[in-house]
Structure 1
Amino acid sequence: MFIIPAVDIKNGKCVQLVQGKPGTEQIILDNPVEVALEWENRGAKILHVIDLGGALEEGGNLSVVEEIVRKVSTPIQMGGGIRTIDDANYLLNMGVDKIILGTLAIENPSTVKELASEFGSERIIVALDSKDSQVVVRGWTEKTAQKAPVLGKIMAEHGAGSILFTNVDHEGLLGGFKVNPLLELLNAVDIPVIYSGGVSTLEDISVLSKTDAYGVVIGSAFYKGTITFEDALIYEKNRN
């Protein structure tokens, strides 16, 4: 199970939001590129880079993402504000290792098939963000009528290489999480699933390490120091 640090970018800075809500910034670091380089130097095998400004349709931070891609050699999975095929093509051709599609994939699953056919399934991650057991889109601001296991099957059939499952109910709260929604999704699909949301202790990571989760994205807990990256890596080494 990979331990994946989050680098969330808003207004050109690295931030952590509570449940993705603007105005709830708890951590603000001036230079996301330096943050990404620090995670690389500490041994991260994957970086999770999100353009929050793009996701919330406030204006993107692509110049920052471009600089991270240029300066960091660690594989990057990147999402946020990828609303068109052209957006996806640009990022994949620019050197992002894997893109994370949310709204675009859910509203038009054929785009997943198109991108997977051109670039390979392994480079396409679909984000299933769950709030009150329903998948949400547009920066977590709009609910759909679907649940993650159902959409997970659809996305896998359309060529998604993996799924990022975020439990929005717990995101940024550092209060732990319920594992059952993840287990339901894992049981429904045969492709890798990365978990995100509410991980705040080593015990939380231990719980995830006992599932078939491919990786876990951790943001607030690392930045606030409730978990150290080096301690978390123990679970990565035990699984991989």
Structure 2
Amino acid sequence: MIIIPAVDIKDRKCVQLIQGDPKKKLVELEDPLKVAERWVDEGAEMIHVVDLDRAIYQRDTNVDIVKEIVSTLEVPVQVGGGIRSVEDGIDLIDAGAYRVILGTSAVKNPKIVEELSKEVGKKRVMVALDSKEGKVVIKGWKERTEYSPVDIGKILEKKGAGSILFTDVDVEGLLRGVKIETVKILVDELNIPVVASGGVSTYEDIIKLKDIGVEGIVIGSALYKNLLNLKKCIEISKGG
């Protein structure tokens, strides 16, 4: 299992939001590249980058920073946020991203997953499934669908998704721990790797997620607020 520190970018700064609300910043740091490099220096084997301005406002103000991060770091970088077309995905892969994360665009139009995976290969296409009260939510968590994460996960797996990023919106950014049951259902029902995100705030959370077989864990707020030490998280993930 791999620990993946989150570098979320808004207004060209590294931020951590509470419940995805752009008005509620838990953390704000000046230089996203330096932040990412710090996590790599501390042992991170992969970095998770999200362009919040592109995701929320369809603004391309951070694209140069994202591309600088993926081309500079010597570890794989997965990139999400506002990737709405096959061309967007290819552009980021060409810039050096290890894999790109499709969210709303994939849920509303699964064909984009099929087309992108044909172009760049399945392992480079990750789909983000955000769940609130057991149903997938889209458009920055504002629109609720009637489908469970497993329902949509199975469809997108058939379309060519290489992995799933599962975020439990109910606990995201609140530092209250993870709800294992929902993640476990996804891991058990799908044949592609699942990376968990949202709510991880204790070493016990990491152990629980490792035990159910997730491929990785994206951790944000808990690292930035020093509730968790990255090196210790990595030790636990490796079985230490």
State the TM-score, normalized to the length of structure 2: 0.97
Deviations 1:123-167 (A, max 9, x none): 000000001111111222211111101111011101100000000
Counterpart for residue 163 of structure 1: 164
Question: Would you say 1:29 and 2:29 are equivalent positions?
Answer: yes
Counterpart for residue 51 of structure 2: 51
Counterpart for residue 112 of structure 1: 113
Deviations 1:182-224 (A, max 9, x none): 0111121010000001000111111111111000000000000
**What 5-or-longer segments of structure 1 have no aligned partner?**
none
Secondary structure in structure 2 of the residue aligned to 1:56: helix
Within-5 A mapping of 1:46-195 = 46-57=46-57, 59-60=59-60, 61-195=62-196
Q: Write the distance in 2 (CA, Å) between the matches of 1:210 and 1:39.
A: 24
Counterpart for residue 216 of structure 2: 215
- Is the contact between residue 71 and residue 95 of structure 2 (CA under 8 Å) also seen in structure 1? no
Secondary structure in structure 2 of the residue aligned to 1:175: coil
Deviations 1:44-78 (A, max 9, x none): 11100000111112523111101112221110000
Q: Write the distance in 2 (CA, Å) between the matches of 1:186 and 1:194.
A: 9
Q: How many residues align?
A: 239
Instruction: Give the AA of the match of 1:20.
Output: G
Deviations 1:33-54 (A, max 9, x none): 0001111111111100000111
**What 5-or-longer segments of structure 2 have no aligned partner?**
none
Question: Would you say 1:20 and 2:20 are equivalent positions?
Answer: yes
Q: Write the distance in 2 (CA, Å) between the matches of 1:135 and 1:167.
A: 9
Instruction: Give the AA of the match of 2:139.
Output: R
Instruction: Give the AA of the match of 2:224.
Output: Y
Deviations 1:81-100 (A, max 9, x none): 11122211211111111000
Q: Write the distance in 2 (CA, Å) between the matches of 1:73 and 1:65.
A: 14
Instruction: Give the AA of the match of 1:36.
Output: A
Q: Write the distance in 1 (CA, Å) between the matches of 2:12 and 2:58.
A: 12
Q: Write the distance in 2 (CA, Å) between the matches of 1:37 and 1:148.
A: 33
Secondary structure in structure 1 of the residue aligned to 2:212: coil
- Is the contact between residue 7 and residue 32 of structure 2 (CA under 8 Å) also seen in structure 1? yes
Q: Percent identity?
A: 46
Q: Write the distance in 2 (CA, Å) between the matches of 1:179 and 1:30.
A: 34
Instruction: Give the AA of the match of 2:30.
Output: D
Instruction: Give the AA of the match of 1:8.
Output: D
State the TM-score, normalized to the length of structure 1: 0.97
Instruction: Give the AA of the match of 2:29.
Output: L
Deviation at 1:227, TM superposition (A): 0.5
Secondary structure in structure 2 of the residue aligned to 1:44: coil
Secondary structure in structure 2 of the residue aligned to 1:170: coil
Q: Kindly report structure 1 stretches of 4+ aligned residues shifted beyond 3 Å.
A: none
Deviation at 1:32, TM superposition (A): 0.2
Counterpart for residue 229 of structure 2: 228
Q: Write the distance in 1 (CA, Å) between the matches of 2:205 and 2:237.
A: 13
The farther-off stretch of 120-129 and 67-76 is 67-76
- Is the contact between residue 101 and residue 125 of structure 2 (CA under 8 Å) also seen in structure 1? yes
Q: Write the distance in 2 (CA, Å) between the matches of 1:135 and 1:86.
A: 25
Instruction: Give the AA of the match of 1:44.
Output: A
